[in-house]
Structure 1
Amino acid sequence: MRIVLALIVLLAVSVAQAQEIQVVTEDTAYTYLEKGRVVGPATQHVRAALARSGFSDVRVDLYPWARAYAMALSQPNVLIYLIARTPEREDRFKWAGELMRIQYHLYKLAAREDIVVDSLDAARPYRVGVMRSDVRQHYLQRNGFAQLVESSGNEENFQKLLAGRVDLVPLPRGDVARLCARFEVDCRSVTPVLTLDALTVDLYMAFSLATDDAVVERLRLGYAALKAEGRLVAID
């Protein structure tokens, strides 16, 4: 009887905790809306980890990055992904698991022969489109870029490049392919000019600081178990 009661209590706690968790992300090649539901390779990993950890009824919401980031900074029980783990962010979140590694490149319109970039210094005079509160914005600011044009998301940023409102945008290859398809643009019309090697980062799922450590540890253990069992396909 005691064992049965303990299991009932554990189940109740699990359900309550699952209901309390808010999961937030942004629109990328790895996290996107399909028929009103957030899907994508990274989302698949997160949903699997949550289910493996006993959080089976958690809703995933897609927001502009700045809003998702602000929620994870200020509210309890928020799980955010894909978030770059940087030294500046290390003590602002409780890190629950690495999802993938990503590399960014500066892109220009192929027709813009007037834009010549072979180094970070050479890129500095140009107008660069960035997402508000994103790791790319912070990196470029630290490196003296004064002409940063903020957008709320990848789509708006890419549209500014297509319209000539910015000269360069930092994007991973996966996002470029997805955005070209979404806006019915030949991907040969945009070209990478510089790889931002120093901005190669690991992307994680992380909880807000006000989240209970027990919740964080449950997700860590669940995700680690999935990886150890070989049940997750690597995200490219």
Structure 2
Amino acid sequence: MKPLLLLALLSLPLAAPARAATVNFVTEEYPPFSYREGDTLKGASVEQVQMLMQKAGIDMHIEIMPWTRAYAAAQGTPMTCLFTTAHSPERDKLFKWVEPLLVDANILVATASSGIRETDLDDTRRYVIGTHRGDYTEKLLKEKGYAKVDIASDFPSTLRKLMNGRIDLMPISEIYFEKLKVDHPLVRVATLSSQSLGIACEKSFPEDIRARMQQALDDLIADGTQRAIFAKYGLHLQN
């Protein structure tokens, strides 16, 4: 190779390593898992997502929006992921998954003043059950034969309806119930389902990025960080 050509090649700037595109996360207002406190996003799921993405070295952005809008975005917008999402058989093939942010039971609860007490799941079908639009429990309740299902716009609206006596029961995370009943006079009535909840990403989501995210979450679980985050929010994992 001629000296001048070699010198020219050596003087070329080195190519910068390729950087992964930003991952856009969408979630709903569902304290204590995801919520706003002023301009700051907080919650047991929000912190897990922030920490695993930092650990994986991937840029990210989180936005809170109504559940139905968030769910649609995760289905149709590349590089978009939704959390905290129940991994149901129906949803399995619709997304690429990173999990679990939480493994939990979903229980039906009532207000203590309602007089409704713990019973068999079959006995709860005579009550008006409230949930929010697009949540996996909306379809689950119908599949389990519940004819009186009241649909609200989001989780806080459903909880307000329960506390105001406009509905009889509502499904809720068992882990969250243990915290919520400290400040709200609620009683457990029956177990509706149990499931893994995680991050659901749009089907074209790059597999190499998903794998890095999964490894980072696995590490947070293994080193006890996930459990510590839950404890910070007054939540206690069952196992």
Give TM class, smaller chain: 0.7 to 0.9
Which residue does 1:68 correspond to in 2?
Answer: 70
Please state if 1:131 is matched with 2:138. Answer: no
Following superposition of structure 1 onto structure 2, how do residues 37-186 of structure 1 map, counting pairs within 5 Å? 37-56=40-59, 58-113=60-115, 115=116, 118-176=119-177, 186=183
Cα distance, 1:180 vs. partner? Answer: 6.8
User: What is the rounded CA distance, in whole Å, between the counterparts of 1:179 and 1:26 in structure 2?
Assistant: 18
How many pairs are equivalent? Answer: 218
Question: Alignment partner of 2:158: what SS?
Answer: helix
User: What is the rounded CA distance, in whole Å, between the counterparts of 1:225 and 1:112 in structure 2?
Assistant: 44
Cα distance, 1:60 vs. partner? Answer: 0.8
Cα distance, 1:47 vs. partner? Answer: 0.7
Deviations 1:158-197 (A, max 9, x none): 111112111111112454466678xxxx42x22111122x
Which residue does 1:9 correspond to in 2?
Answer: 17
CA contact (8 A) 1:105 1:173 kept: yes
User: What is the rounded CA distance, in whole Å, between the counterparts of 2:206 and 2:117 in structure 1?
Assistant: 50
CA contact (8 A) 1:155 1:179 kept: no
Which residue does 2:206 correspond to in 1?
Answer: 212
Deviations 1:134-178 (A, max 9, x none): 121121110111110111211100111112111111112454466
Question: Alignment partner of 2:113: what SS?
Answer: coil
Which residue does 1:190 correspond to in 2?
Answer: 186
For structure 2, the residue ranges without an aligned partner over 5 or more in a row are 1-9, 231-236
Matched residue type, 1:47:
Q
For structure 1, the residue ranges without an aligned partner over 5 or more in a row are none
CA contact (8 A) 1:116 1:122 kept: no
* RMSD after superposition: 2.4
TM-score where L is the length of structure 1:
0.82
User: What is the rounded CA distance, in whole Å, between the counterparts of 1:81 and 1:154 in structure 2?
Assistant: 14
User: What is the rounded CA distance, in whole Å, between the counterparts of 1:70 and 1:217 in structure 2?
Assistant: 23
Cα distance, 1:68 vs. partner? Answer: 1.1
Matched residue type, 1:75:
T
CA contact (8 A) 1:94 1:209 kept: yes
Moved over 6 A (4+): none
- Percentage of identical aligned residues: 26
User: What is the rounded CA distance, in whole Å, between the counterparts of 1:116 and 1:222 in structure 2?
Assistant: 42
Matched residue type, 1:194:
A
Distance 1:178 1:27, change over 3 A: farther
